[in-house]
Amino acid sequence: MIRFCPSCFALKRTAPVLNHTSRLGNYFNNTFSKFSVNRMSVSSYSSDASSTVMDESPPNGVTKSVSGKGPTAVVMMNMGGPSNLDEVGPFLERLFTDGDIIPLGYFQNSLGKFIAKRRTPKVQNHYSDIGGGSPILHWTRIQGSEMCKILDKKCPESAPHLPFVAFRYAPPLTEDMLDELKKANVSRAVAFSQYPQWSCATSGASLNELRRKLIEKGMEKDFEWSIVDRWPLQQGLINAFAENIEETLKTYPEDVRDDVVIVFSAHSLPMSQVAKGDPYVYEIAATSQAVMKRLNYKNKFVNAWQSKVGPLPWMSPATDFVIEQLGNRGQKNMILVPIAFTSDHIETLKELEDYIEDAKQKGITGVKRVSSINGSMTAIQGMADLVAEHLKAKVPYSRQFTQRCPGCTSESCAERINFFQDF
């Protein structure tokens, strides 16, 4: 049958899937309620997706840091996702009209809007399957709030630290975040990419948008910017994924536990981009290797790629292909690990679950999925350690930030590097 790929909104031919809408919706709702019960101190967030700054006021009304320069903003930058069904259409339009992530050439704007309009009803159905919206804003707010609490203790010289969210394609958007920075009297801002592994199509697209909006608003000199542009080997990230895998392994009978294959699944990338030297593929490999080292290589593992769009070649092997091929060889037990994502969203809650249902229909009954790092305090502590090191090092970005891909011909890439070199 023809299935609509929920993460990239393209049609793809697959085997039939079971109807598991109710189970996914229950998972989505239970995840939120379970977190609220166990961590009441980190779940008091406004449901208004347009609110950019998180519900964290400076302690005791403080509006300046110890240095007297004002609060330090930590801006959590990500693709984002629609928080409700009404946001799906605008989300898709922003996505398909962005040439950094889906290049359509001369017809980028007109064709992108046309595709978005055609896709909207189907994609709304997919978001209905996971509870009516993406949980990515929910988890990003939790991560940012808890991280900044830790930063206030670790880095009193730059406190208070205020968490903000800037999504590329869904509210809260980059331009809204900039207005909130101004209102909060922020002087220094850290652009913290929530893509642990760098790609010009993801991290690069978010920073391109930040540059554009700063220029449009005439705010180029209003804030002192620095960038945490990649963190594929951050120990808190590695430990959080390893802990999730260990917990899932415990759900298998002890006598088969060591035979479970770990399948690290990341969003795929066009081979045309890979051929230019985009570092994403080898940074994904670095993360998965580090996780397996933390697990003492007790299980076999493989890297796989999901969410291919269109007929052109993309990085492979595809996640669903890996599951099927391993199953055909008698491997029934696998754990899917969304190694490129810091929170669950449509690609984990819908797409990976579809793969699991497909596998069950083919007799591959032991495939399970671990959650992303979501509200893991191990991961959040790691984020705080990473930003603290960044602040204390007083460097604008990583050494790798100014290294363009060998085959890069993108003007926006050169403009991004030149722009942030001035800070």
Catalytic residue positions, numbered: 385
Q: Which residue has the tokens 């205020």?
A: 162
Strand 2-4 and strand 11-13: pairing?
Answer: antiparallel
Please state, in angstroms and rounded to a whole number, the distance separating the CA atoms of residues 95 and 39: 34
Beta strands in 168-268 (DSSP E): 188-193, 224-228, 261-267
Tally of residues, the chain: 423
Q: What angle do CA 161, 344, 399 make, to 5 degrees?
A: 50
405 is in an annotated binding site: yes
| 236 SS3 class | helix
Is the separation of the CB atoms in 191 and 225 below 8 Å? yes
Question: Which of 173, 176, 165, 170 shows the shortest CA–CA distance to 140?
Answer: 165
Rounded to whole angstroms, what are the CA distances from 393 to 101, 155, 214, 386, 422? 31, 12, 25, 11, 18
Please state, in angstroms and rounded to a whole number, the distance separating the CA atoms of residues 109 and 96: 8
Please state, in angstroms and rounded to a whole number, the distance separating the CA atoms of residues 179 and 193: 19
Nearby residues of 323 by Cβ (< 8 Å), 6 or more positions away: 263, 334, 336, 355, 358, 359, 364, 367
413 is in an annotated binding site: yes
200 is in an annotated binding site: yes
5 is in an annotated binding site: no
Is the separation of the CB atoms in 162 and 73 below 8 Å? yes
DSSP 58: P
Question: Which of 262, 334, 355 shows the shortest CA–CA distance to 303?
Answer: 262
Please state, in angstroms and rounded to a whole number, the distance separating the CA atoms of residues 127 and 25: 9
Which residue ranges are tagged as binding site for [2Fe-2S] cluster?
A: 200, 405, 408, 413
Which residue ranges are tagged as binding site?
A: 200, 405, 408, 413
